[in-house]
Amino acid sequence: MAARRSASRGKAPPSSGGPAGDSRCSAHRGAQGAPAPLCGERARPRPPPRGPAGERDRPAGRLPGLMTRHTTGPRINNDKLYKFTYSTEVLIDRVKGLPEDSAGYRISSGVDVNLVWRNPNNDDDQLIKIMIKDVKIENVNERPAAKNIFKGKHSENIIGKEYLSALQRPVVLQWTRGKVKNFYSYKNEPAVVQNLKRGLASLFQIQLHSGAAREVDVSGKCNVTYHARESQVTKIKALGTCEIEKTGFTSHNELLDVSTKVTSATIYVLEDSFIKSVRAEENHVLSLNFRQTTNAKIVSKQKLELKSTEAGPGVIAGKQVASVIKTLDPNYIAVPLVAEPVKTECKNCPSISEHWQAIRKQLEPENLSKAEATRSFLSFIQNLREATKEEILQILRSERNAVLPQLVDAVTSAQTPASLEAMLEFLDFKNGSSSVLQERFLYACGFASHPNELLLKSLINRLQGQIGNSEIRETVTIIVGALIKKLCDKGGCKLPAVVRAKKLILGGLDRAKKEDDVKMYLLAMKNALLPEGIPLLLKYAESGEGPISNIAVTALQRYGISFITSEVKETMNRIYHQNYKIYEKTLRTTAAAIIFSSNPSYMEVKNLLLSIGELPLEMNKYMLSLVQDILHFEMPASKMIRKVLKDMVVHNYDRFSKTGSSSAYSGYVTRGPDASSTYSLDILYSGSGILRSSNMNIFLFNKNAHLHASQVVIEAQGLEAIIAASADEGEENLESFAGMSAILFDVQLRPVTFFQGYGDLMSKMISATGDPMNVVKGLILLTDYSQVIQLQSGLKASAEFQGGLAIDISGGMEFSLWYRESKTSVKNRGALVVAGNIFVDSFFVKAGMETSFETEATLNFISTVQFSEYPFLVCMQMDNIESPFRQYVTKYESLPSGKRYTSRKGKVRLLAGSEYPLHQENSNMCRKVFSTQSDSSDSWF
């Protein structure tokens, strides 16, 4: 049961993130010798200065010797030319990779700095000119000539004449008390070149006393902390606080997302009131939350060192900065120091139609359980995100065979305005005959990794329009509920479309008269989990009939513990103990599970345990098994249960020796440092031995998040007449029915009906092929992370992680009168691929790393019941077959000319198949079943 599994998950620990501390820079301190004392000028008192943001600088911790006479910031001497060497390098690798194995490059140059103007009324207000020259691009690490893409290449060949000329045009800084007040450059320069100049200029942002500040540089407006001692200043920048235009997206569920850790430190050494050297380093570490060995790090370094000082040009006289700048060069304009966006274009990339033709064979239905299908799906999504609506429509309209549903999965998963518009134009919801494509589109919307208001608004509009198929109308409503929850989880509960959708579902449920409409809105509520909808769910849970009450209770089961109030628990107790009316076993057992998972009181637990022995035969066994499962799996309620069991009135042999075939069992699929996975199997039979309910769950969780990965529930009722058996209390008049309901990645799907009514049952028995019924089939985008990282060197890094799943879940219920045997089966097949691409593209050189892993797996659950004799034999099996696991890391460097260096490593291994353990009683029963089972099964349906 969902609620009792999730209750065992760990709570999120306090975050360990935050600005980098001193300890991260300890390796740099003391690396430079103490410089000579700096020279001052005439002393004069002045009021506490104000920084660029209007805040008073803090006087505490000023550098001894530097602040004794003139300064509140560094100064540059008149008529001097300061010649520096400058380099910036970037490295990309795995977190534990060796530096010499990294991909990356270094840009090095000379830098000339001289004073242009000093404010006659304020010695600390200066204009300085900075000019880059003698640019070189090279490997960071020594490489053989065959692996060195820069070998024999001049800077102009690599960068291009236009870019190199722009890079070597000087910039001017208005430098006031160590802060860059204004940055002057030329307009219409290439953004990547302008950003490199900003990265160099940002090294001149400094203050000479300890304290915190809010500072603007190429990274944005950031919180920085200065530590000053003797002739050295250390600046720690909290990159997480930087305000800068951000692009990209993250995955909806934290478990499927990517976590980042960032640090930034800059060390200044000063001499004679000016900068002698600057060393800056920032680190960005990205890790996949559910598998942190899939990770990457980006290391960006800058180094500026003074090599010599010589006679330089004189200063320009003037009182106003504007007039001096105009005199210097009328083409100069003031531009922001914060980096500007850089749009990268894919060169030599295939067109969207060419890409589709190259991969369409991998997306044939028979290939969907292979990793290659998922890999093709992910790569195609990347291409689709650059496509126009017309290009997408052209492919959709030209495709006519079995791969079209997979194409719909991919186009919808791209989640761009163009792809959404194309899908809405392509699909005709008034046409009830194309329901397969419509349903694939809707499920892809429900699984959206980063849904927006536009998507929800579009579905609401479709829902309020004409829909030709009633099942599609139901699916639209259910998916609207899923999108409400996803948007609310991201803080969008007050968005107009979300408010409109909530009113639509809550109002629809309140006004619904037809049973099908009530079930439809209840399923939507099961996805939306609106707190304001709990009173309606309680109403339908307690007063509804059959499926309506069942959906309402299972919806309540999905709410967090904080929403299970005393009112909810009182209602669940009334249902379980049947205070006012008789309820079905499935409803009562779900109510019991909610009570157990919601911090039950002593009396609540005692009353539940005292009921065992007074219940119908199989319900007795199920409740006993549920209690034992809570105890052995150490769920939160286990402590209270043990306390109650000390009472011998409750804990006695008669009560705890009940026999039957129903059971509840939980176990671990995997346990790891990053994430764990649990499974649960709950089986409830009727007194006649026919399956009443089979519930299989798989949960993923870590310390911070959890995910209901899958749930497959097979329900059957009203089948006792077939074997001339008596129905249990409260179930005498139930219509013959069997069906399946599924939850996939926290999204409740539309239930599937195997048969309904005695006539339908008989026809299915006669015409049955024995093939399982498909519950869900398709391609799902799970992990979807894309961010542009502004490096303080001026370069931009891009980080993309995509994870996809090709999935095929099918199930069935087989029944043989001849052999007096029934069997339920659920088959989960899937191919998971996660791929990350982390790169720095400066137009003239690109370096990066691709990291990926993939696996193909099959998980089967089979429950067999033989009722030819009493007590009947029940055997449950849950196993996964041997599956491959492949992991690859590719590092690369490339030039626009096509010259490329690539290093590729991989590991391939087989994951052993296994059968998951259940309770010992089940193992004993399986031995008996297999020893008596007939080989023939001609009468299955």
Give the pLDDT band (50/70/90) at residue 756: confident
859-875 confidence digits (pLDDT tens):
888 888 777 766 677 78
DSSP assignment of 195-249 = HHHHHHHHTT---SB-EEEEEEETTEEEEEEEEEETTEEEEEEEEEEEE----EE
Instruction: Provide mean pLDDT across the span 904-932.
Output: 83
The predicted pLDDT at position 817 comes to: 64
Q: Considering only CA atoms, which of 503, 425, 501, 426 is closest in space to residue 456?
A: 501
HEC string of 827-893 equals: EEEEEEEEEEEEEEECCCCEEEEEEEEEEEEEEEEEEEEECCCCCCEEEEEEEECCEEEEEEEEEEE
56-70 confidence digits (pLDDT tens):
343 444 444 443 334
pLDDT over 60 (residue 743): yes
Instruction: Provide mean pLDDT across the span 521-535.
Output: 97
How many angstroms separate the CA atoms of 307 and 304, rounded?
Answer: 10
Among 167-181, 743-757, 922-936, which stretch is predicted with the lowest mean pLDDT?
A: 922-936
pLDDT over 60 (residue 55): no
Give the pLDDT band (50/70/90) at residue 32: very low
pLDDT over 80 (residue 148): yes
Instruction: Provide mean pLDDT across the span 157-180.
Output: 94
> Is 156:163 a contact under the CB 8 Å cutoff?
no
Give the pLDDT band (50/70/90) at residue 771: low
318-332 confidence digits (pLDDT tens):
889 999 999 999 999
Among 181-195, 239-253, 458-472, 800-814, which stretch is predicted with the lowest mean pLDDT?
A: 800-814
Instruction: Provide mean pLDDT across the span 505-527.
Output: 95
How many angstroms separate the CA atoms of 243 and 337, rounded?
Answer: 13
Instruction: Provide mean pLDDT across the span 687-707.
Output: 88
The predicted pLDDT at position 770 comes to: 53
How many angstroms separate the CA atoms of 600 and 607, rounded?
Answer: 11
pLDDT over 70 (residue 463): yes
At 182, give phi and psi (nearest 5°).
-145, 150
The predicted pLDDT at position 330 comes to: 94
Q: Which pair of tokens denotes residue 131?
A: 């000019």
Residue type, 393: L
pLDDT over 90 (residue 858): no
Q: Which pair of tokens denotes residue 413?
A: 């998963």
Give the pLDDT band (50/70/90) at residue 722: low
The predicted pLDDT at position 70 comes to: 42
How many angstroms separate the CA atoms of 128 and 543, rounded?
Answer: 80
Instruction: Provide mean pLDDT across the span 763-783.
Output: 70
The predicted pLDDT at position 939 comes to: 37
221-260 confidence digits (pLDDT tens):
999 999 999 899 999 999 999 999 888 899 989 999 999 9
* Overall size of the chain counted in residues: 941
Residue with tokens 């107009």: 496
Give the pLDDT band (50/70/90) at residue 46: very low
How many angstroms separate the CA atoms of 737 and 755, rounded?
Answer: 6
Q: Considering only CA atoms, which of 228, 232, 229 is closest in space to residue 213?
A: 228
Sign of CA dihedral 357, 363, 366, 372: positive
Which whole-number Å values give the CA distances from 492 to 483, 489, 558, in the listed order?
11, 7, 21
The predicted pLDDT at position 41 comes to: 37
